[in-house]
Amino acid sequence: MSKRPETIVLHTGHRADPTTGSVVPPIHQTTSYQFNSTEHAANLFALKEFGNVYTRIMNPTTAVLEERIAALEGGVAALATSSGQAAEFFAIQNICHAGDNFVTSTDLYGGTWTLFANTMKTMGIEARFVDPSDPENFRRATDARTRCYFAETLANPKLNAFPIAEVAKIGRELGVPLIVDNTAAPIICRPFDHGAAVVVHSTTKYIGGHGTSVGGIIIDGGNFDWEKHAERFPMLNEPDPSYHGAIWTQAVKPLGPIAYIIKARVTLLRDLGSAMSPFNAFMFLQGLETLPLRMKAHCENAALVAAHLSKHPSVKRIIFAGMHSDAEQKRRAAVYLKGGYGGLVGFELKDGMDAGRRFIDSLKMIYHVANIGDARTLAIHPASTTHSQLSAAEQARTGVTDGYVRLSVGIEHIDDIIADLDQALERSAVPLKRAS
């Protein structure tokens, strides 16, 4: 089987359903599965054999999605979850317990920030936020209780590519795995190729691609030596009382380097229950089939939109991974993003808050929503919405200014996208005197 993305998304993990011949993976809308015998049932529960038990823990439709996305990212196995937030929480909770800490980039999706800074704190897990412009900040924040590093490939609003290889290398020296949220850059970045140990996605965004379903996934790179760093990972190297004393690095060894992802499935998903519904798995499989095509179109349109806006008199500044003026950011974008710079474009209006609001209110085709990765073009004005609770200083630290607008550029015809942007920009200009 070819390993190229365009083929993986159509063929990996399923070939003609054995009972019906169905070409498309069927939606297995069932909670449970008949055991062949008491011995079979006992083997499944003891992990001596792999098979379906109950849809909270695994499902055949979801399994195809997991296998396909694992292959796409170049990992060994994956675990789908009910949302991207659940995927991120599980990815960390799997190896980070009360009293432990992890080091995270400050450039984060808002929901991830609140999960790390507030909810995980109440569980006794400390998130140490560091500036990713200097990778050494990760080393400086590491101690004996640091269990992982966390970052996004291409975090908005700054849209800087994260230095994956640099931070992964520091982590491997110290025995700390890097978890990368690759939601904004599927296809164009493969974090495992640069040394990441675990990848997470909100499948809600580009993978689903049509704004229909919320979901997430964790992919195990199978490339981190949990046994070598046994003192840092007792949860994978000591008997687990929640699973009749299983030692995860030993229990599933014959099946490959999948200790991390198996533990997440059979303990966290079992206990916390944030499973993806089979119907949503089907929707994500459908989206996945055109992901390579769509990413190409998103990247092409975004580059054209960025070039057009950069020449517009109402626009003060463009924030786009393909247009950084800073030499190091330019280098990182070239190293980590291949075949395009993603579909996200930020820009700053000269006339600030009022112009930002007017621009959004004047859009006709482009949707005003808090989402990214839809086939449709989407826009949001963070200062009056997602970031309105932050102080001006906090907004500035996150990269949001009064006139900042974020676009998730879709796959419509470029002329129609630009026409809508242009007419809204014209109306956004603040008149010298208000009419009323």
Binding site for ligand PLP (CB under 6 A): 83-85, 109, 111-112, 152, 181, 183-184, 202, 204-205, 214, 216, 372
Least distance between ligand PLP and beta carbon 20 (Å): 31
The letter for the amino acid at 176 is: V
Q: How far is CA 349 from the centre of its chain?
A: 28
CB of 31: closest distance to ligand PLP in angstroms?
Answer: 23
| Least distance between ligand PLP and beta carbon 349 (Å) | 23
**Residue with Cβ nearer ligand PLP (120 or 214):** 214
The residue among 12 and 83 lying less far from ligand PLP, judged by its C-beta, is 83
CB of 117 to ligand PLP, least distance (A): 14
For 371, phi then psi, to 5°, come to: -150, 165
Closer CB to ligand PLP, 188 or 258, in the complex: 188
Alpha helices in 94-203 (DSSP H): 110-114, 120-122, 136-140, 164-174
Query: Closer CB to ligand PLP, residue 372 or residue 424?
Result: 372
- We find the least distance from the C-beta atom of residue 154 to ligand PLP, in angstroms, to be 8
DSSP state for residue 295 in the 8-state scheme: H
- 3-state secondary structure (DSSP) of residue 3: coil
Name the residue nearer to ligand PLP (CB basis): 65 or 259. 65
Residue 276 CB, shortest distance to ligand PLP, in Å, is: 11
Considering beta carbons, is residue 165 or 207 the nearer one to ligand PLP?
207
| Encoded amino acid at 409, one letter | V
Nearest residue to ligand PLP, by Cβ distance, number only: 84
| Residue 195 to residues 69, 178, 190, 336, 384, Cα–Cα distance (Å) | 18, 8, 10, 12, 38
| Residue (174 or 272) nearer to ligand PLP, CB | 272
Distances in whole angstroms, Cα of residue 176 to Cα of each of 93, 99, 154, 332: 15, 16, 21, 22
Report in angstroms how near the CB of residue 44 gets to ligand PLP at its nearest.
30
Are 332 and 292 in contact by the 8 Å Cβ rule? The answer is no
Closest to ligand PLP by CB, 13 vs 111, is: 111
Q: Which is nearer to ligand PLP, 152 or 420 (CB)?
A: 152
CA-only gyration radius of the chain, Å: 23
- Count, in order, helices (H) and strands (E) of the chain: 18, 14
Residue 36 buriedness (CB in 10 A; 0-12 / 13-18 / 19+): exposed
Which residue, 211, 110, 206, is CA-closest to 157?
110
In the complex, the smallest distance separating the C-beta of residue 356 from ligand PLP, rounded to whole angstroms, is 21
DSSP 8-state code for residue 42 = H
Query: In angstroms, what is the minimal distance from the CB of 348 to ligand PLP?
Result: 21
- Say how many Å lie between the first and final Cα of the chain, rounded: 67
Measured distance CA(317)–CA(310) in Å, rounded: 7
Q: Which secondary structure element, helix H or strand E, spans residue 315, and what is its range?
A: strand 315-319
Residue 223 · residue 258 · CB < 8 Å: no
Helix (H, G, I), strand (E, B) or coil at 181: strand
Least distance from C-beta 360 to ligand PLP, angstroms?
19
Query: Which residues are registered as beta bridge partners of 218?
Result: 79, 200
The smaller minimum CB distance to ligand PLP, of residues 249 and 377, is found at: 377
Neighbours of 133 (CB within 10 A): 16
